[in-house]
Amino acid sequence: MRKSFFRDLLVVCLLILIVACSVMLLVGYVSRPDTPKRFTIARQELYPISVPMKYDKYGFLPMIEMNVDGQLLQLAIDTGLDYAAFQLNSSKIKELNLAAAGKSGFFSGIMGLPRRTRLFRVRNANIASIALQDVYVTEEPREFDSFDGLVGNEFFREFVTLIDYGAMELVLYPKDMPPKDIIDGEWKQVPFSNDNIGIVINGTIGEFGEILRFCLDTGVTVNYEGKSYGIIKSKNVRDISSTGEIMIPQISKGPIQTISTKMTLIDGIDLGLQEFLVWDFPRPAVDGFLGHNFLVRYKVLISFETETLYIKDFQQGSEASNDRSGRVNIKTSHFGRR
């Protein structure tokens, strides 16, 4: 009787252990599955490396080229894509006949809908003078007709990256040797956090407002009647009068209100007058987005090593020119767990 009791107790304990381990493995797989290093830099020319940018055919998003087996792929720059270095449209993956390399986990967009994405491998690729090997790309199940995929923060983490809409170029520096003339120069420093949702900076609406969190996302590009807009949630601007409204059918059945307000980044950097769409987006957990509206006014150097932005406005308060009046685009920013 005593032996039977201890045997049954042992069986129960083993079952509890098995169930507990299964749950932990399942949660671990969903949140952070094992994935290989995203890419290897096989060769690069002397730094700094200049990578030309151009806009997609709609004039919405800045792109760079990646050469894969002699085919030039157009990749939109996406600082809201935080969990991957490269993402390719499903049709482009099929066209290139890429080898599957397992599952990559989940990602979610600004509409809050989670999607499982697969992992594929590109043996060799080139971006400007950088030769890459064993490049792991995630699948983009939606089809963008104006570009072949995205380049995200997992790529930019390997460098210190200058985004310059005025010169239409990316400039890549070694992450352990940032440009001294910028770091020690007159560029303004802005700290940021990076918690799997992109580059998040703090700011206020008005000089003494509540501190809000904004995601700096090159994929947020809203241009209408000569104005470029960021996005902000309604709870943060209840006391500010609307300046108008815009119809954006892909995110709302009704009109979206617009506002114009002064904005100040943390450390007292005055951004002056900013235009925003007022939209209560489901994801991610930030108060708003700065995108094209910010980047056409400022050069931005990104250091993930120190979690610091260095910004400098274009001379004499001018903006990087790009005639896209009447264009409206909000690319669903990607974030998630690797």
pLDDT in tens, the chain (338 residues): 545 544 554 443 433 332 222 221 112 222 233 456 788 898 877 899 999 999 988 777 899 999 998 999 999 999 988 888 999 999 999 999 998 887 656 555 555 556 667 899 999 999 999 999 999 999 887 778 889 999 999 999 999 999 999 999 999 999 988 899 998 888 999 999 987 788 999 999 876 688 999 999 998 888 887 788 999 999 998 888 888 888 877 777 888 999 998 888 877 788 888 899 999 988 788 999 999 989 999 999 999 999 999 999 886 445 565 544 444 455 544 433 33
3-state SS string for 240-253? CCCCEEECCCCCCC
Nearest-angstrom CA–CA distance, 53 and 164:
9
Where do runs of H (alpha helix) occur along 102-208? Answer: 153-156, 180-183
CB 278 within 8 A of CB 237: yes
Please state the separation of Cα 311 from the chain's center in Å. Answer: 18
Per-residue model confidence (pLDDT) at position 298: 93
Q: Which domains does the chain have, with CATH numbers?
A: 40-164 (2.40.70.10), 179-336 (2.40.70.10)
Residue labelled with tokens 């894969």: 68
The token pair that represents 282 in the structure block: 């489901």
Distances (CA, A) of 193 to 63, 228, 306: 25, 25, 10
pLDDT of residue 318: 52
Residue 218 CA, distance from chain mean position: 7
Structure tokens at 325: 């009046």
Run of H or E including 23: helix 2-31
pLDDT score at 276: 93
Tell me how far apart the alpha carbons of residues 18 and 258 are, in angstroms, rounded to a whole number.
Answer: 54
Q: Report the Cα 230 to chain-centroid distance in Å.
A: 15
Q: What is the pLDDT of residue 251?
A: 73
Distance CA 305, CA 274 (A): 29
* Contact assessment for residue 291 and residue 230, using Cβ atoms and an 8 Å cutoff: yes
How many CB atoms are closer than 10 A to CB 179?
Answer: 18
Q: Token pair of 48, please?
A: 């700094």
Would strands 114-127 and 99-108 be described as parallel, antiparallel, or unpaired? Answer: antiparallel
What's the number of CA atoms in the CB half-sphere (13 Å) around residue 281? 27
What does pTM read for this prediction?
A: 0.81
**Could you tell me the two tokens for 335?**
């974030």
Question: Would the CA dihedral through 44, 45, 48, 51 be positive or negative?
Answer: negative
Helix (H) or strand (E) holding 294: helix 292-295
Cα–Cα dist 84/155, whole Å: 8
* pLDDT of 28: 20
Q: Give the span between the Cα atoms of 139 and 114, in whole angstroms.
A: 14
Return the closest-CA partner of residue 232 out of 250, 257, 254, 253. 257
Of residues 153, 150, 151, 86, the one with CA closest to residue 120: 86
Q: 153 and 147 in contact (C-beta within 8 Å)? A: no
